[in-house]
Chains A and B, each alone.
Chain A
Amino acid sequence: MVTLHHYLILSAMLFALGAIGVMFRRNLIVILMSLELMLNAVNLSFIALSRYQGSIEGQVFVLFIMVVAAAEVAVGLAIAVAIFRQRGTVNINDINLMKW
């Protein structure tokens, strides 16, 4: 029998993997992908909670999260393309102008 805990644990593992990717990868595009992974982990926990609490609000929120994620990906990839044109790289170690 699959309980809510199974889904929440799976979601937490996916989120942790995404966070590891954001922290340890140096490629801007892979970092954006890891960010998507984290958003999807949150979506999974929303859907699981919506199912086990018997309410539809979770699924509506997931729709909004998907819209925000799509907008974020579009703008993020546009920034990546612009940076690549400017600097010739998407390695974030080389993009350190606004790092303290």
Chain B
Amino acid sequence: METFLFYVLGVVTLVSAMCVVFLRRPIHNALFMILTMIGLAGLFMVLHAEFIAMVQLIVYAGAVMVLFLFVIMLLNLERLKLPEDVQGLRRWFGILLAVGMACLVFPALRVVLPGGTAKAVSSGLLQNTDIIARELFTTYLLPFEITSVLLLSAIIGAVILARKRTKQREEG
């Protein structure tokens, strides 16, 4: 089972990484990057690093890639070379995907739909998180505090860099 999962996830990760590097349009690169992150999170699960896998999903596949997509759409690098007939098939495909996604994630449907009867096994996750937290807050306490300073300086730097400098441009 572990071998099977490794090969499936490894192939998914590698193929989507190739798409990240070799496809032309940045938006496709970003979307395949999300797939790469999800594949890597699955590999972390196989390696019994459950906490890191969840952090990978939330931080990378969630926050970082949303930031990438946001900047790509903000800069509008594609110059809108889309064909005119986007309204037809693509809209129905989108609606279908949205409904499927709602069925998948909407918890109210879980009540209606029959679910499995097995109990949730969370001891492994708790143990992994437990060990990491103990290490992080005892042995690696000083680096942990330093990363908070690093994040603060990154926030300040990003805000200052991306700020619109209208006054300077008028003067210069």
Residues of A at the B interface (CB closer than 8 Å) are 1-2, 6-7, 10, 13-14, 17-18, 20-21, 24-25, 27, 29-30, 32-34, 36-37, 40, 43-44, 47-48, 50-51, 56-57, 59-60, 62-64, 66-75, 77-82, 84-85, 90
B113 within 8 A of A: no
Quick one: which of A20, A33, A44, A90 contacts B29, CB cutoff 8 A?
A33
Given A7-B6, A10-B10, A59-B132: 5 more A-B contacts, CB < 8 Å: A59-B128, A64-B140, A66-B56, A66-B59, A72-B154
In the bound complex, CA of A71 to CA of B151 (Å): 6
- Contacting pair A40 B40 (CB below 8 A): yes
Question: What is the distance, in angstroms, from A18's C-beta to the closest C-beta of chain B?
Answer: 7
- Contacting pair A36 B14 (CB below 8 A): no
Chain A residues positioned under 8 Å from B14 (CB to CB):
10, 13-14, 17
- Contacting pair B17 A17 (CB below 8 A): yes
In the bound complex, CA of A97 to CA of B61 (Å): 34
User: Hey, what's the 0/1 contact readout for B1-42 against A, CB within 8 Å counting as 1?
Assistant: 011001000100110011011000010011001001100100
Residues of B at the A interface (CB closer than 8 Å) are 2-3, 6, 10, 13-14, 17-18, 20-21, 26, 29-30, 33, 36-37, 40, 43-44, 46-49, 51-52, 55-56, 59-60, 63-64, 67-68, 71-72, 74-75, 77, 128, 131-132, 135-136, 139-140, 143, 147, 150-151, 153-155, 157-159, 161-162, 164
Question: What is the distance, in angstroms, from B79's C-beta to the closest C-beta of chain A?
Answer: 12
Q: Could you give 20 example pairs across A and B, Cβ below 8 Å?
A: A13-B14, A17-B21, A30-B20, A30-B26, A32-B68, A36-B64, A43-B52, A44-B40, A44-B43, A44-B44, A47-B49, A56-B131, A59-B52, A60-B132, A62-B49, A64-B143, A70-B151, A71-B153, A77-B158, A82-B162
Chain B interface SS verdict (over half): helix
- Contacting pair A90 B3 (CB below 8 A): no
Given contacts A78-B162, A84-B75, contact A63 B136 (CB under 8 A): yes
Chain B, Cβ-Cβ closest to A85:
B164
